């Protein structure tokens, strides 16, 4: 290629073209861009690739929002989305999403632009030590060389190196080798000129490349998106080094008959937990965020039953899927030294609360008779503990009665039901009833998820929750990412986010979308009790003085949610009765919608 053909080109842009082009060839379909000067080459290449229809670009001015949007996409799709940002504090804002991705085992790619190495530690503007910033939590971290050449045809040494890095990054994010899915950090130091003309070879299908180093016995072309729920009875590797003993031969661990067993499903357990409980004839303790609360083995009111000496007190073996976080009763069982705990490896970090748990890659129930006494006792107690949340049916006979007093009484009863104020139980029940398999439901780390866990019956719907660290940050953005991924290719369904007011306000910046960017069908349902009432049920309520409790724990707020919705361009509805709430939840959702429900403290 002539020198004139290379005029106006920039090493930074050529490097961005090689890196992003290969990420897309390896299956990345979403790029989240937080604008900045140092990252302009990456952003402009992303825009060009979007114009060609090979990737979707989502622009977010807040890097924390960008990180959690990518997290939501990875949660739902099983493929990493890539976040592009500039240097300095922009990078630090990605830490909360990176931590959640690490602890939950969600694939995520962080592409951070940087000043060149000679500007680090000398007081240069917008420069800090970005390499190693996320180190303890990364599946792969690379501080890449500064691009110093333009590439005539896309096969130069620099381009080939970056494409190999892209392959390694996708493979590591997906959990190739012995590690589960998780976050990857590629730091890209760039010198001026920070952008130039796009290379003609951008987007050209890749020539044959050597296989990336993705772990033992795994070739690049074998790397595929992980199923969110894993294979039947099978998990997917622990995070980093684990102190859990491991089933030595790698074969499925056979659960022999005899020990009184329960199957426990925590966050992200998926359908595997229900399948094992069904196959073994064992009671299933399934958190509402597990994706396993369905089937005939589900235990209702499990907290109460785990405290029962005749049930929870007699457990001899617990098989755990996912990450249990919602009840102290489950934690107490898993911490007992007289309970054999088998932790099925999944996307999150290994579980070992009693110091002697065994990590297994897969489990199967041995052939044999079900312990009918054990299973029957749990099911009888479960039926007794279940609560019928359905509103009372109309008295059809009274409504059609010729006796005025009977008819008027029935009408009054119906009106009382319709006009009854909404409490937390009614709120979670209404959202649960309105959600179906083609929808998605994200629970925030608010008081409402614990209410839902207490009272909701079994139902097979796709459920998400950021329970890796159970933080309230990034919930709206995570829901946005889930909606973007689940509604790709014109798929049906609504994504609902059920959250408290503080979780909503903590991520209110995620309500902002750029002009012209298509919004998914996303319904945010806020239970607004004016502050952090979850603390009312914790130990602090018994030791704090009233004024201190109000000031620094309850953190009261009186934000006008309707005004916020209007400012950010969201449709707003307020529901004061169950009838209004049901109408809001079952009505047509065409885009972004906020439903506010006032709750008593």
381 and 394 share a domain?
no
- Supply the pLDDT for residue 462: 97
- Supply the pLDDT for residue 122: 81
Q: Tell me how many domains the chain contains.
A: 4
Q: Does residue 25 sit within a domain? A: yes
Give the pLDDT band of residue 213 (cuts 50, 70, 90). very low
What's the pTM value of the predicted model, to 2 decimals?
0.90
Q: Does residue 482 sit within a domain? A: yes
286 and 368 share a domain?
yes
Task: Count CB-CB contacts under 10 A for residue 148.
Answer: 10
393 and 433 share a domain?
no
Rounded distance between C-alpha atoms, residue 90 and residue 84, angstroms: 10
Give 315-325 pLDDT, tens digit per residue: 999 999 999 99
Give 445-496 pLDDT, tens digit per residue: 999 999 999 999 999 999 999 999 999 999 999 999 999 999 998 899 999 9
Residue 132 has pLDDT above 50, yes or no: yes
Q: Does residue 224 sit within a domain? A: no
User: Residue 51 burial (CB < 10 Å; 0-12/13-18/19+)?
Assistant: exposed
Last residue of a domain, one of 138, 173, 200: 200
Task: Count CB-CB contacts under 10 A for residue 490.
Answer: 5
Last residue of a domain, one of 156, 184, 200: 200
- Supply the pLDDT for residue 1: 52
Give the pLDDT band of residue 207 (cuts 50, 70, 90). very low
For residue 524, the cross-strand partners are 497, 594
19 and 135 share a domain?
yes
Give 240-265 pLDDT, tens digit per residue: 334 445 555 557 899 999 999 999 99
Residue 514 has pLDDT above 60, yes or no: yes
316 and 261 share a domain?
yes
518 and 563 share a domain?
yes
23 and 117 share a domain?
yes
Range of the domain at 454: 420-598
Two tokens at 452? 């839902």
Q: Does residue 221 sit within a domain? A: no
Q: Strand, helix or coil at 58?
A: strand
- Chain position carrying tokens 């007081």: 123
Residue 217 has pLDDT above 60, yes or no: no
Rounded distance between C-alpha atoms, residue 120 and residue 130, angstroms: 9
322 and 262 share a domain?
yes
Q: What is the CATH number of the domain that holds 147?
A: 3.40.50.970
Two tokens at 32? 């989240």
Rounded distance between C-alpha atoms, residue 468 and residue 240, angstroms: 15
Q: Does residue 190 sit within a domain? A: yes
Give the pLDDT band of residue 223 (cuts 50, 70, 90). very low
Q: Residue 40 in contact with residue 13, Cβ under 8 Å?
A: no
Put residue 367 in one of left, alpha, beta given phi > 0 → left and psi -120 to 50 → alpha: beta
356 and 404 share a domain?
no
Give the pLDDT band of residue 2 (cuts 50, 70, 90). low
Lowest mean pLDDT among 4-13, 42-51, 245-254: 245-254
355 and 453 share a domain?
no
447 and 551 share a domain?
yes
- Chain position carrying tokens 């998106």: 225
Q: Does residue 231 sit within a domain? A: no
The DSSP-derived string for 512-530 is ---TTPPP--EEEEEEE-S
463-465: strand order across its sheet: 463-465, 440-443, 495-500, 522-528, 592-598, 571-575
Percent of all residues in the chain with a pLDDT value above 90, rounded to a whole number: 74
The radius of gyration of the chain from alpha carbons, rounded to an integer in Å, stands at: 26
Residue 204 has pLDDT above 80, yes or no: no
- Supply the pLDDT for residue 234: 31
351 and 407 share a domain?
no
Residue 311 has pLDDT above 90, yes or no: yes
63-77 and 95-104 helices, crossing angle to 10°:
20
- Supply the pLDDT for residue 230: 28
Q: What is the CATH number of the domain that holds 347?
A: 3.40.50.1220
Q: Does residue 216 sit within a domain? A: no
Q: Does residue 230 sit within a domain? A: no
């Amino acid at each position: 290629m002539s020198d004139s053909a290379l005029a106006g080109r920039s090493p930074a842009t050529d490097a961005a073209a090689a890196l992003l082009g290969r990420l897309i060839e390896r299956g990345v379909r979403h790029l989240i861009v937080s604008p900045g000067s140092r990252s302009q080459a990456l952003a402009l290449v992303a825009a060009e690739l979007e114009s060609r229809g090979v990737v979707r670009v989502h622009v977010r001015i807040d890097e924390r929002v960008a990180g959690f949007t990518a997290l939501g996409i990875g949660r739902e799709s099983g493929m990493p989305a890539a976040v592009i940002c500039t240097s300095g504090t922009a990078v630090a804002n990605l830490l909360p999403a990176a931590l959640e991705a690490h602890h939950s085992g969600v694939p995520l790619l962080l592409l951070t632009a940087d000043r060149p190495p000679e500007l680090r530690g000398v007081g240069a503007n917008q420069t800090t030590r970005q390499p190693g910033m996320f180190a303890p939590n990364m599946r792969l971290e690379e501080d890449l060389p500064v691009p110093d050449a333009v590439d005539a045809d896309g096969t130069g040494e620099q381009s080939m190196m970056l494409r190999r890095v892209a392959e390694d990054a996708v493979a590591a994010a997906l959990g190739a080798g012995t590690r589960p899915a998780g976050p990857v950090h590629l730091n890209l130091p760039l010198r001026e000129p920070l952008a130039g003309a796009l290379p003609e070879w951008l987007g050209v299908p890749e020539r044959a490349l050597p296989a990336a180093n993705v772990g033992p016995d795994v070739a690049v072309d074998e790397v595929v998106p992980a199923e969110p729920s894993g294979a039947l009875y099978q998990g997917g590797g622990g995070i980093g080094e684990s102190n859990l003993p491991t089933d030595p031969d790698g074969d499925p661990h056979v659960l022999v008959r005899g020990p009184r067993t329960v199957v426990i499903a925590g966050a992200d357990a998926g359908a595997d937990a229900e399948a094992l409980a069904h196959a073994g004839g064992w009671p299933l303790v399934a958190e509402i965020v597990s994706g396993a609360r369905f089937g005939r083995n589900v235990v209702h009111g499990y907290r109460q039953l785990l405290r029962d000496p005749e049930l929870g007190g007699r457990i001899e073996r617990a098989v755990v899927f996912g990450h249990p976080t919602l009840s102290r009763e489950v934690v107490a069982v898993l911490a007992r030294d007289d309970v054999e705990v088998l932790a099925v490896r999944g996307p999150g970090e290994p579980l070992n609360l009693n110091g002697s748990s065994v990590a297994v890659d897969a489990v199967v129930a041995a052939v044999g008779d079900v312990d009918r006494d054990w299973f029957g006792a749990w099911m009888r107690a479960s039926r007794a503990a279940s609560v019928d949340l359905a509103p009372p049916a109309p008295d059809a006979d009274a409504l059609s009665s010729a006796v005025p007093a009977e008819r008027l009484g029935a009408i009054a009863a119906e009106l009382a039901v319709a006009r009854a104020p909404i409490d937390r139980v009614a709120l979670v029940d209404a959202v649960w009833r309105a959600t179906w398999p083609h929808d998605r439901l994200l629970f925030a780390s608010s008081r409402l998820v614990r209410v839902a866990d207490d009272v909701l019956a079994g139902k097979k719907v796709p459920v998400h929750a950021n329970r890796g660290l159970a933080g309230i940050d990034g919930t709206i953005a995570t829901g946005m990412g889930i909606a973007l991924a689940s509604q790709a290719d014109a798929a049906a369904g609504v994504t609902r986010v059920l959250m408290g007011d503080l979780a909503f306000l903590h991520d209110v910046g995620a309500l902002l979308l750029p002009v012209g960017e298509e919004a998914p069908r996303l319904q945010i349902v806020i239970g607004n009790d004016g502050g952090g009432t979850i603390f009312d049920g914790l130990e602090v309520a018994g030791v704090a003085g009233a004024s201190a409790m109000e000031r620094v724990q309850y953190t009261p707020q009186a934000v006008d949610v309707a005004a916020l919705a209007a400012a950010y361009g969201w449709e707003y509805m307020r529901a004061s009765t169950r009838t209004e709430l049901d109408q809001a939840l079952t009505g047509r959702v065409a885009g972004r919608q906020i439903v506010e429900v006032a709750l008593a403290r």
